[in-house]
Amino acid sequence: MFRLLPRDENFFDLFEQQAGHIVSAARVLEELTLDYPAAQAKMQQIRDLEHAGDAVTHEVVRRLNTTFVTPIDREDIYALASRLDDVLDLIDAVADRLLLYKIKSPTDGCLAMAKIIVKTAEETDRAVRCLRTLSPLYRKHSIEVNRLENEADRLLRDELAALFEGGTDAIEVIKWKELYETMEAVTDRCEDVLNVIEGITLKMA
């Protein structure tokens, strides 16, 4: 369709860049849990990715303020940028809490949750890359993210039940409860990203 004014398509590049940061941070988080003696170095890698993500979000906002014609509605651009930033912030928060709480070693539940986070991040990344062409394939990734979020939710309940029933020290219970809940929240925020993508795709179809 002919347009008098060109649309700035760079927003899609920024969204895809941010989704890539999320995948990288999720993978480093899993590496952190698997190689815990190297946790400090892995934490710095995640922190660097979180800072890079902040720069992407700021660039999205800057472009919103300087671009006359956007490829999708402005409120949708801001919503997607915010949800993606939330995911990255939460991955950083998980790593930060692991070190802040001086966790001696990750539990099996923590390892399992980290694996789910990686899979969810990868599916979210694939869905974000469907947005440029409004590909209906995002639905497949949305269904998988929903399945993974449900899996994380079940794992959270199981791990919390084990904590409360296992006679664990009260301080340790508090630490692990917050850690598990923060890890599960990563999958919740990924589901939020998919909801925004679905809304955009349906609106533009």
Residue 52: inside a domain, yes or no?
yes
Residue 5: inside a domain, yes or no?
no
Residue 3: inside a domain, yes or no?
no
Q: Can you give the pLDDT at residue 7?
A: 53
Q: Can you give the pLDDT at residue 3?
A: 41
- Domain boundaries, position 80: 10-204
Residue 54: inside a domain, yes or no?
yes
What distance in Å separates the CA atoms of residue 31 and residue 71, rounded to the nearest whole number? 37
Mean pLDDT by 10 residues, the chain (205 residues): 50 97 98 94 97 97 90 94 98 96 93 98 97 93 98 97 84 94 98 96 86
For 42, residues 6+ apart whose C-beta sits below 8 A from its C-beta are: 28, 29, 31, 32, 35, 95
As given in the structure block, the two tokens for residue 188 are: 């919740």
Q: Can you give the pLDDT at residue 175?
A: 94
What is the CA 46 to chain-centroid distance, rounded? Answer: 12
Q: What is the pTM of this model?
A: 0.93
Q: Can you give the pLDDT at residue 4?
A: 37
Q: Count of domains in the chain?
A: 1
Q: Can you give the pLDDT at residue 8?
A: 58
What distance in Å separates the CA atoms of residue 93 and residue 115, rounded to the nearest whole number? 17
Q: Can you give the pLDDT at residue 68?
A: 84
Q: Can you give the pLDDT at residue 165?
A: 87
CATH number at residue 182: 1.20.58.220
In angstroms, how far is the first alpha carbon of the chain from the final one?
15
Residue 4: inside a domain, yes or no?
no
Q: How far is CA 88 from CA 26, 34, 47, 95, in A?
A: 9, 20, 10, 11
What integer best gives the mean pLDDT of the chain? 93
| Percent of the chain with pLDDT strictly greater than 70 | 95
